[in-house]
Amino acid sequence: MEDMKKYSPKEVDSIKEKDHIQLIDVREDEEVAQGMIENALHIPLGEIQDAYTDLDKDKEYIMICRSGRRSYNAAAFLQEQGFNVANMSGGMLEWPGEIIIK
């Protein structure tokens, strides 16, 4: 497998509004209920294998979780499926930006 591209939370905060980038939060429902990054798509890790066929291969996906481990696994799976994907290292524990409560 190719090396996994990664961004720091600070880098993600500065590029998250770009049209070609989609953030995907793979945390569980109870975790995202505590707050998530605005405009991030919520797809729990356990649902990635069923949901990935609805994703656009022309976008870059940045995967997010609490600490960076689950999102790495999700990113590795999507990378194997041919997606342009990166992991947000450090996860929401290191997120410097605003969050929204849904």
Indicate which residues carry an active-site annotation.
65
* Closest listed residue to residue 78, CA positions, set 26, 10, 39, 29: 26
Tokens for 39? Answer: 């405009």
The per-type count for the chain, helices as H runs and strands as E runs, is 4, 5
Alpha-helical runs (H) found in 1-102: 9-15, 29-32, 48-51, 69-80
Determine contact, residues 73/85, Cβ cutoff 8 Å: no
